[in-house]
Amino acid sequence: MLAFSPAAERMFGFKAEDIIGENVSLLMPSPLAEKHDSFLQKYLLTGQKNIIGIGREVTARKKNGTLFPVELSVGVITRHGTHLFTGFLRDLTAHRISENQIAELQSELIQLARHSAMGELATTLAHELNQPLTAIANYTLVTRKLVADLGTNQQTKALLDLLDKSAQQAQRAGEIIRSIRTFVKHHETRFRWENLEDAVREAVKIATIGTGNRPIDVQINKPGPVPDICMDRIQIQQVVANLVRNAVDAVSAQDTERIIRIDITRHGTRSVIVRVLDNGPGLAVDVEKTLFEPFNTSKTDGVGVGLAISKTIITSHNGDIRGRNRQAGGAEFYFILPIDSKAEDVSS
């Protein structure tokens, strides 16, 4: 190395005077460090470029041995038959941390979505299945009685045995359903005092991931101060993510400008209101009346549980959630959250 900038000194923890004159492979982890000289040799012989002029993400090594991600691009200057290489590095550590945080939060949200969706499904299924199961149990009981009245012989004994087994299985199915219901009911919520704006911003970031090829103008407004809210942060983020994701779906198809606006404002003295507005086509007539009921969807790949789950969550926070068409076109969804849903009187 012929030169080592002050920024490089900070990044690697080496002083320029200690490192100038050393091989650049000192800044690389094994096994790249060992291979570096032969890569360079190969380039000088064949002109085959591995990284020069291309740039890519690589792992670098600090003086204390810590490895960290960097974006590296290498330039080459040839003068009087000598090659001089310049490496430009950007430390990607902070970038990676926030990427990891997003991925973590996303997986937490997905888990919750599954959990809530499972709860919603389990409740519906339990309700739907209870009646036919009771009917099966009753029919089996009556048939058993009729068979028993026929008198005991080899065949009736076999029939009674089979009918007993059917009754046992119907009972077992009932118990499985009951245990699922108990499991769903006991899902623990974690109410804490949280900064609503932070929670909303994070959820919006996640819900808009992957919209880059059809850019959407996403605006988040908080005109005045909003107090901390006593809430289950992950659940409220799930609601925001659901509403924003629906808005993304709504505006994505159009070729005109795609706008989503999220307003966070105080609502009276004891609540806040979060609105999600879009300039999409608005609510379809046939879904409008039953918006928050499960399995209500107008999308070919929709499940129709997002809004039902959101309603369950907001209701468990003693809040209210609604959706309607905007006069200006597009849809508007809003939810009202009491600042402290645990307080005695939360109406405001």
Q: In the bound complex, what is the minimum distance in angstroms from residue 325's beta carbon to ligand ADP?
A: 9
Q: Is residue 103 a contact residue for ligand ADP (CB under 6 A)?
A: no
Of 18-26, 134-142, 156-164, 274-282, the window that binds ligand ADP (rule: CB under 6 A) is 274-282
Taking CB under 6 A as the criterion, the residue among 242, 271, 279, 341 binding ligand ADP is: 242
319 binds ligand ADP (CB under 6 A): no
Q: Under a CB-based contact definition with an 8 Å cutoff, are residues 250 and 331 in contact?
A: yes
Q: Which of 246, 271, 279, 312 is in the footprint of ligand ADP by CB under 6 A?
A: 246
**Residue in the shown chain whose Cβ atom is closest to ligand ADP:** 306
Q: Is 302 in the site for ligand ADP (CB under 6 A)?
A: yes
Residue 116 in tokens: 């809530």
Residue 325 in the binding site for ligand ADP (CB under 6 A): no
Stretch that binds ligand ADP, among 32-40, 75-83, 174-182, 279-287 (CB under 6 A): 279-287
Q: Which stretch binds ligand ADP (CB under 6 A): 7-15, 200-208, 243-251, 336-344?
A: 243-251
Taking CB under 6 A as the binding criterion, the range among 36-44, 74-82, 124-132, 283-291 that sits at the site for ligand ADP is 283-291
298 is a contact residue toward ligand ADP (CB under 6 A): yes
Q: How far is the CB of 284 from ligand ADP (least distance, A)?
A: 5
CB atoms < 10 A from the CB of 288, how many?
14
Q: Which stretch binds ligand ADP (CB under 6 A): 49-57, 157-165, 200-208, 291-299?
A: 291-299
Which of 285, 280, 292, 272 is CA-nearest to residue 228? 272
Contact between 247 and ligand ADP by CB under 6 A: the answer reads yes
Smaller CB separation from ligand ADP, 60 or 239: 239
Least distance (Å) between residue 304 CB and ligand ADP: 4
Is residue 177 close enough to count as binding ligand ADP by CB under 6 A?
A: no
Residue 226 interacts with ligand ADP (CB under 6 A): yes or no: no
Tell me the closest approach of the beta carbon of residue 324 to ligand ADP, in angstroms.
Answer: 10
Question: Contact between 280 and ligand ADP (CB under 6 A)?
Answer: yes
What count of Cα atoms within 13 Å lies in the side-chain half-sphere of residue 22?
15
List of residues contacting ligand ADP (CB under 6 A)? 242, 246-247, 250, 278, 280, 282-284, 287, 291, 296-299, 302-308, 331
